[in-house]
Structure 1
Amino acid sequence: MNVMFARGPSLFSRLLMALVISLGLIFVDHKFDGFASIKVYLNSLVSPLQYIAGLPSQILSNSAERFISHQDLLEENARLTLQSVNMSEKLQRFELLKAENDRLRTLLGSPIAAPTRKMVTELMAVENNPFSLQIVIDKGAIHGVFEGQTVLDEMGVVGQIMEVGTTNSRVLLLADITHAIPVRIARNNVRLIANGSGQIDELLLEHVPHSTDLQVGDVLVSSGLGDVFPEGYPTATITSIVRDESRPFAQVTATPIAQLDRLRYLLLLWPENAPTKPIFQNDSQRGGDDL
């Protein structure tokens, strides 16, 4: 006789089975990296949904820009023109200093820094997990983006690429609790490690001896150690130093120079030894952007 309402496994049994399978998949992925290709496909599959989710915001943003008054446009144009003139003057001095620096490196037998390829990208989405500081950008594998790639804004270092999809990528921000970057103090070249604190506006400098020469206001720049972040990019500013002799190390905090809470346009860097090169790159992002 057929039973109309057959009773299957209990909810607890189903939950337990799902947990066991999930833990098994996590273990396999962590130990053997067996789902790397699947992650790329899943990112590619989700990317259209991310574009669709961001479409209302894009439409509203475009509509708001259309309502900007003519006078505001004239004032902004004048401001940008003045800024362009000032930047041109700074660029002229930069070129002179760069040529002088290259000559000094040649005399000292030090290698000259190779030009860096760049590409502008735009923010697509922000991770809503309060325990993870990540964002999604609109460039992916077809643009040559690779894991570990450096991401900047107009102020300084933002973070690095964590996952790459076909048309978008996920960026791990500088302040994420799992992130660390080797830095040096611009004033005296003392080398430190800046760790994320999980707070968007705070970095931690751990294992700093009490005798280390550092001051509030010191600017930290990327040191280039580890071959992940290129050398010399602004990273953070020291904001607090507590030298408690009862503790083995000083307690030092810093604030990221990049505006991590108001990102929109970002810059991707390709070093000479990058594993891939951009496939799509317009003329404005090619020769004129090299350092």
Structure 2
Amino acid sequence: MAYPGNPAPRLTDGAGSTLPLLAYLAIATVLMVADLRGGFAAKARVHLSTLAEPVWWLASAPGRLSDSAGEFFSSRSDLQQENDRLHRELQVNASRLHRLLAVAEENQRLRELLGGTRGYRLSAQLAGIIDVDLDPSRQRIVLDAGANDGVQVGQAMIDAGGVLGQVIEVTPRHSTALLLTDPEHAVPVQVARTGLRAIAYGTGRTDMLRLPSIPQSGDIRVGDRLVTSGIGGRFPAGFPVGVVEIVEPDETQLFVVAEARPSARLDRGVEVLLVSNTTTGLDAGPPLPPPPAPVEEQASTQTDAGAATEAGPATVPPREPGE
């Protein structure tokens, strides 16, 4: 029953509100089917992203500018620090170069003062090892070269690492050499870092040399390299002998005892090199000029050496094996 002023609902009113919804659903269904079969939505997204790229670039511009500014100032600071460091290194290297030049000039003046080193050379000869004796009380090797090959008693023996020992006995075809670590062997050495001179004695062990009676004031440290000093004339100067591994006071607390590891490979190797200092004959050039007066003692020594060379090979008295 209808009341006055309240009209009854009509069918067209409900249908009119539902038709747009059905139209949207139909359109959505058509679009989904078309996208599934044709993939046009993906293409549309690509084109839309291309159109939106300038907007994204503008939006990210402040961040990029901030990062670029920070990187610029950071790089500038790093370059300034590196420039300062290289400038300091350049100054240090320049000072070292000046010092080396001064040392070179001083070395040249000393050579001129002493009359130079012309007339002296180092002879070397290769020999093979045919027998090895590494007993703690007797450490020797036998070589396949003898007097027929020019080997002489007293020649120093080295390998790729350093000093091995010296020849103590020669036969026509073979020779016997005393190793550096034999208890009866001793070699004058010098600390390469400070120039301190000492005597390195064999201990019967292939891995250790002993340097006793070093003064407390002697500057020797663990890691110092030991080289031959050339004193005595048996071992040419400058060959490696060992590296200091232990430095400790002796029993009296008055001196220092050092122990060093030999540089030479005493327990391996099949060949050695025999070296010795020799003087050239008359073919090497005119006699050495006499040095100035302040070094008269050195001049007399060199004159005697030159006279001995001109007269022929001098007879050298035999030395003990540990000399």
Q: Report the TM-score when normalising by structure 2.
A: 0.51
Which residue of 240, 248, 251 corresponds with 2:246?
A: 240
Letter in 1 for 2:117: I
Residue in 2 that maps onto 1:111: 116
Q: Hey, which of these two has a bigger chunk of helix by percent?
A: 2
- Where does the alignment leave 5 or more consecutive residues of structure 1 unmatched? 1-98, 277-291
Q: Is 1:125 paired with 2:131? A: yes
Q: 1:148 to 1:216 in 2, by over 3 A?
A: same
Alignment partners' CA distance in 2, 1:257 and 1:118: 19
Change (3 A) 1:185 1:110: farther
Match of 1:211 among 209, 217, 224: 217
State whether residues 190 and 226 of structure 2, in contact with CA within 8 Å, keep that contact through their aligned partners in structure 1.
yes
Q: Comparing both chains, which one has the higher relative contact order based on Cα–Cα distances under 8 Å and sequence gaps of 6 or more?
A: 1
Runs of 4+ aligned structure 1 residues displaced above 2 Å come to 99-111, 243-248, 273-276
- Look up the match of 1:268: 274
TM-superposed deviation, 1:188: 1.0
Work out whether 1:230 is the aligned partner of 2:230: no
What RMSD, in angstroms, separates the aligned Cα atoms of the two structures?
2.4
Query: Residues 100 and 140 of structure 1: is their aligned pair in 2 closer, same or farther, counting only changes over 3 Å?
Result: farther
The answer to whether the Cα contact below 8 Å between 1:105 and 1:112 also exists between their aligned partners in 2 is: no
Q: Give distance in 1, aligned partners of 2:266 and 2:227.
A: 16
Alignment partners' CA distance in 2, 1:176 and 1:270: 21
Larger Rg: 2
1:45-70 deviation per Cα after TM superposition (whole angstroms, max 9, x unaligned): xxxxxxxxxxxxxxxxxxxxxxxxxx
Distance (Å, rounded) in 2 between the aligned partners of 1:213 and 1:229: 23
- In 1, the alpha carbon distance for the partners of 2:260 and 2:108 equals 35
**Distance (whole Å) between structure 2 residues aligned to residue 257 and residue 151 of structure 1:** 13
**Offset at residue 214 of structure 1 (A):** 0.6
**Distance verdict in 2 for CA 1:122–1:195, change over 3 Å:** same
TM-fit CA distance, 1:108: 3.7
Amino acid at match of 1:156: G
1:238 and 1:252 in contact (8 A); partners too: yes
The CA deviation at 1:258 is 0.4
Q: Is the 8 A contact 1:176 1:198 kept in 2?
A: yes
CA displacement, residues 126-155 of structure 1 (integer Å, 9 cap, x when unaligned): 126442110111110001111111001011
**Identity level (%):** 38
Structure 1 counterpart of 2:184, from 162, 174, 178: 178
Which of 145, 148, 153 is the matching residue for 1:147?
153
* Unpaired runs of at least 5, structure 2: 1-103, 280-308, 315-323
Cα deviation digits, residues 30-59 of structure 1 (max 9, x gap): xxxxxxxxxxxxxxxxxxxxxxxxxxxxxx
Aligned length: 178
TM-score, structure 1 length as denominator? Answer: 0.56
